[in-house]
Amino acid sequence: MCSCCCTCSRTQTPVQGRRKMPRQKFRSLLKILMVLVPVVVVSMLILQQYNNPFISEWRRALYVDVDVDESSRTSEKLPKDTDGGCFMNTHCPDDHFSFYMKSGAANVIGPKICIQNKMVLGMMLNNAGEGLNIVIMNGETGNITKTGHFNMYNNEVEPLIEFLKSIEQGSIVLIASWDEPSSHLNDEAKQLMADLGSSAVHSLGFRDNWLFVGGKGATVKSDFEKHLKNDHNLNKYENWPELLELKGCIPKYMN
**Do both 125 and 236 map to the same domain?**
yes
> Exposed, middle or buried by CB within 10 Å (0-12, 13-18, 19+), for 201?
buried
Q: Give dist(CA 43, CA 25) in Å, integer.
A: 27
Binned at pLDDT 50, 70 and 90, residue 173 comes out as very high
Residue 150 lies in a domain: yes
**Do both 106 and 162 map to the same domain?**
yes
**Do both 179 and 245 map to the same domain?**
yes
The residues, any chain, with a CB within 8 Å of residue 157's CB and separated by 6 or more, are: 150, 184, 185, 186, 189
**Do both 31 and 115 map to the same domain?**
no
pTM of structure? 0.67
Bridge partners, 177 (sequence order): 132
Question: How many independent structural domains does the chain possess?
Answer: 2
Structural domain harbouring 118:
86-251
Q: Give dist(CA 48, CA 56) in Å, integer.
A: 9
**Do both 196 and 239 map to the same domain?**
yes
At 76, the amino acid letter reads E
**Do both 125 and 26 map to the same domain?**
no
**Do both 23 and 109 map to the same domain?**
no
- Encode pLDDT of 180-225 as tens digits: 999 999 999 999 999 999 999 999 999 999 999 999 986 666 679 9
Q: Give dist(CA 236, CA 233) in Å, integer.
A: 9
What percent of the chain stands above pLDDT 70?
A: 70
Binned at pLDDT 50, 70 and 90, residue 37 comes out as confident
**Do both 120 and 230 map to the same domain?**
yes
Q: Give dist(CA 168, CA 164) in Å, integer.
A: 9
